[in-house]
Amino acid sequence: MTKRNNLLAVCFCLLMSILLLSACSSNNSSAVSVASTKSQGILTVSDISSFSLQDQVSFTSAQGIINRHATNLYLVYNTQSNVQQNSQFWLTHAVNLPHKTVNPMSIFLKFKSTLKGLIIWDPNMVVDTQNVAVTLAGLKDAIPCSPQMAKTLEAAPYNYKVLMDLRKNHFSNRYNTYKWLVNYIHPYMSKISFPVWIGDPDGSNSGDDPSLRDWSTQHYGIDFEADANTDFNVIKMILGLFPKDSPVYGYIFYVDAQYKKTNLPLLEGVSVGDISKLGDYLIPTDGFHNLSIFSQLKAAKNVTPMWSSKTIVPNKSKTYVLFATTDGDNLAYDQGFFLLHQLQNPQFGKVPMGISLSVNLAKLAPTIYQYYLQHSSSNDIYIAAPSGAGYAYPSLMPDLTKYLSTSKAKMAYAGLKSVWILDNEYESSPPQTTVDQYGKIVGPSGIFTDYDNFKGGFITPNPPAISFATGNIPVVHDVYGLTQFNTINSIQATAKLANGGPGFVFVGLDAWNLNSTDVQQMIAKLGPNYVAVTPDQFVGLIKGAEKLHELSTGLTK
């Protein structure tokens, strides 16, 4: 559920808010205090935003090795990407450690005892040899770099030695490149932690994605790239190195002709489908910065997400509308754009909403997770983003029981009581057998399903609008909210299905385009017979209607 609707995403005022973030970062009153960490003295901070993306890959890869056993190095980016923002803001509000800012190149001198040498990638096959170089750098405590950066780091005052030069391998195709890597790392597989699908964020074949490299080298990940249309043999080879139910970090985004024409990532469904069929799940993390730091921090105070299981008697003359933001499965969105577009919107918390958020944020970046919980009101109720433990299509998984057991544990750790499910590569809603397994194994208070309704259109939900899973758990299907106009039409069309009983409409709100201000305006336009509610209230009202036998067959059949 990680649509890259960049054309819809960012307006000028949001970009300018980066300046405001920097200004407010000096105020510690809203910071999440950090408990004990494994920091060795003063945290080193460096702004690498002036460097090329190629060089940033070198810095972030080195960062993971430097942070392997302690919180030593934090990097500032100040990028204007719609997801990769706020590294300076979080330094104050979620890292909150004593720090000293240094010149970026001095990092290679300060931590030279930790970094053992250089691994040079091949510019003639940059995407894949860059991934190979980063993978090997993690194993060898080395700096992956371009030939140009290598020249600088070989010379005084750095005096690094070249450990490997991948140009000498003369790689000519993707599969053979990763086949060589798999053979090379075979003796080290006991150290390799997980796969990272990353490397070509804009489809330009230029590589240079610096995000997440620190997480990969810190934990001995294996980085790779693949096109779902042509590289299934690569996907199968890399994922086959790991046991079933393994997380796949990064993202499967690939710019193709369809995306350039429609701005819809149609290959997302195919790629996540491949991952699901192989028994694994995606944790969308491309664009997340400083994960090697955030994963080590602990919040001094933990706030539990709000959720009420109360059954509520509905008013038969009302239509209850749940607006819930999409795309929270993307941790980079959680780190960046959610803060700018949702949490810092002046109307946030003033109108009831559901907010999808990755369950993995609670463990991978606990101080960011706690910051959001501590700055949310009773109108802001969080939902576990698709489809539990990570982004997967449950009906395609060979061992759904294992995945759901993992989902249950991760949801419990995050304190989240409901889950949003995507399924079947967007082709159809999860079948009754799948939601019943969620009810039996995970036992959520509510199940929310679907996204975009590519097959069902944007006007009415994928029927039935409301059903029940094992344990009498309400299962609701969304209508997609892309613009205010389309959303209002969808709500009114779905409300007619109630046939005189209380109406229920679940809106999957485009996270890149609509926010609390839009919700307030839409409710005002809909009029007094439409009531915005939170996810727990929505579930409680459905249970209340069912108990009184007031649920319309138009919504349930």
CATH 3.20.20.490 in the chain, residues?
Answer: 319-556
Give yes or no for residue 6 having a pLDDT over 60: no
Q: What percent of the chain has pLDDT over 70?
A: 87
Query: DSSP characters for 358-399?
Result: -TTHHHHSHHHHHHHHHT--TTEEEEEPTTSSSB--GGG-TT
* pLDDT for the residue numbered 335: 93
The gap from C-alpha 228 to its chain's centroid, in whole angstroms, comes to 20
- Work out the average pLDDT over 263-292: 89
335-366 pLDDT per residue, tens: 988 998 999 999 999 999 999 999 999 999 99
* pLDDT for the residue numbered 259: 66
Tokens standing for residue 419: 């889950």
Query: 5 falls in which pLDDT band (50, 70, 90)?
Result: very low
- Work out the average pLDDT over 305-316: 96
Any idea how long the chain is? 557
* pLDDT for the residue numbered 457: 38
Closest CA to 357 of 275, 467, 283, 274: 283
* pLDDT for the residue numbered 87: 86
- Residue 34, SS3 per DSSP: strand
Prior bond of 535 cis (ω within 30°)? no
* pLDDT for the residue numbered 256: 63
Give yes or no for residue 134 having a pLDDT over 80: yes
Give yes or no for residue 81 having a pLDDT over 70: no
Quote the mean pLDDT of the chain.
89
Between these two residues, 556 and 323, which has the higher pLDDT value? Answer: 323
Closest CA to 52 of 249, 207, 218: 207
CB 317 within 8 A of CB 529: yes
Query: 425 falls in which pLDDT band (50, 70, 90)?
Result: confident
Query: Taking the domain 319-556, which CATH number applies?
Result: 3.20.20.490
* pLDDT for the residue numbered 20: 37
87-106 pLDDT per residue, tens: 889 999 999 899 999 999 99
Tokens standing for residue 455: 């097959």
Non-local (6+) Cβ contacts of 338 within 8 A are 325, 328, 357, 372, 511
Top-confidence range, 223-227, 325-329, 412-416? 412-416
Give yes or no for residue 491 having a pLDDT over 60: yes
Closest CA to 63 of 96, 100, 111, 117: 111
Long-range contact pairs involving 48-54 (C-beta distance under 8 Å, separation at least 24): 48/75, 48/76, 48/77, 48/104, 49/76, 49/77, 49/78, 49/79, 51/104, 52/208, 53/208, 53/209, 53/210, 54/146, 54/148, 54/149, 54/207, 54/208
Residue 199, φ and ψ in degrees, nearest 5: 140, -25
228-266 pLDDT per residue, tens: 888 999 999 999 999 999 999 999 866 666 666 666 666
* pLDDT for the residue numbered 460: 54
Query: 269 falls in which pLDDT band (50, 70, 90)?
Result: confident
Range scoring the smallest mean pLDDT among 31-45, 315-329, 378-392, 403-417? 31-45
Count CB-CB contacts under 10 A for residue 259: 17
* pLDDT for the residue numbered 16: 36
Residue 190, φ and ψ in degrees, nearest 5: -65, -20
Query: DSSP characters for 194-246?
Result: -EEE-S-TTSSS-----TTHHHHHHTT-EEE---TTT-HHHHHHHHTTS-SS-
Query: 40 falls in which pLDDT band (50, 70, 90)?
Result: low
